A and B are shown apart, each in its own frame.
Chain A
């Protein structure tokens, strides 16, 4: 099979696209950095929405970005089962776009947190398929609004459908049930606050994120095989 092409949408204020593009290349994909006004996603096999401060995060994180012309095209891909990953601000955008349930609000303690954080794998998903349940990882976080919040019925659904993908081992931001990452019911859209691309090779001092990104590339290949050519 030919290499998979991963779209990396960039909004004004996105700042992690180069790291994500480097990681995609590292794990055998072709990284295609696209501006937020792109509406043609033909030939795209997967999407990673990178971190940053899209549209300055004015009003709320991701609130303006969700109305970018590229978003309906991403949603269309997600409806076909194409793997979509949102990292940090990408997670916030996916929640605002209602492609994932809940919302990310200000950290308890009102501090911007930039540190390595312990995670535990809770369920299998496009970013955890290579990792067994209970695996401990250390991945950096870098956010002010990472406090995952949802109402009781949304939370009960997340638990019932096994949609909690990752939990913090030492909840740094006040997230409900220490949630660090979730997926949609179909399990092809995933969002997480930690940055696996910043811990994806030995030279960075931490490669715990590598298996997460390899899992994502696996999911992209499986989705290509499942989709009609």
Chain B
């Protein structure tokens, strides 16, 4: 068994209205930051997981996302995974 570091990125499904991002998009111009578009607000979930190899770890994390970490009805997710002693690229 090896330990893998995982970063799960959860973001709103494209096309689903993102009220928090809409609020940010309204607030930024008010502060004088112009030219900002396509804001999205999601979540980053990080953890370590034990598994036989990186493929089985990835499959397990994918299942975690399907069941709990993301709601596929309104969210998409992506998974970054690497052996725990190497750094995972965010």
Contact = CB atoms under 8 A, between A and B. Distances in A.
B17 A96 contact: no
Given A59-B69, A63-B68, A174 B74 contact: no
Contact of B73 (A102, A107, A110, A174): A102
B19 A60 contact: no
B11 interface: no
Interface string B1-34: 0000000000001001101101100000000000
A58 to B, nearest CB: 11
B68 A67 contact: yes
A106 interface: yes
Given A59-B68, A63-B68, A67-B68, A108 B73 contact: no
Interface residues of A, number: 22
Contacts of A25: none
A60 B65 CA distance: 13
B19 A149 contact: no
Interface string A175-215: 00000000000000000000000000000000000000000
Contacts of B16: 105, 149
A224 B7 CA distance: 49
Contact of A106 (B19, B69, B73): B19
B19 A109 contact: yes
A105 B69 contact: no
A34 interface: no
Contacts of B40: none
Interface string A46-60: 000000000000011
Interface in B50-64: none
Contacts of B19: 105-110, 147, 174
Interface of A: 59-60, 63-64, 67, 95-96, 101-103, 105-110, 147, 149-151, 154, 174
Given A63-B68, A147-B17, 19 more contacts: A59-B69, A64-B68, A67-B68, A96-B71, A101-B73, A102-B73, A105-B16, A105-B17, A106-B20, A108-B17, A108-B22, A110-B19, A110-B23, A147-B19, A149-B16, A149-B17, A150-B73, A151-B13, A174-B19
Interface of B: 13, 16-17, 19-20, 22-23, 68-69, 71, 73-74
18 contacts: A67-B68, A95-B73, A96-B71, A101-B73, A105-B16, A105-B17, A105-B19, A106-B20, A107-B19, A108-B17, A108-B19, A108-B22, A110-B19, A110-B23, A149-B16, A149-B73, A151-B13, A154-B73
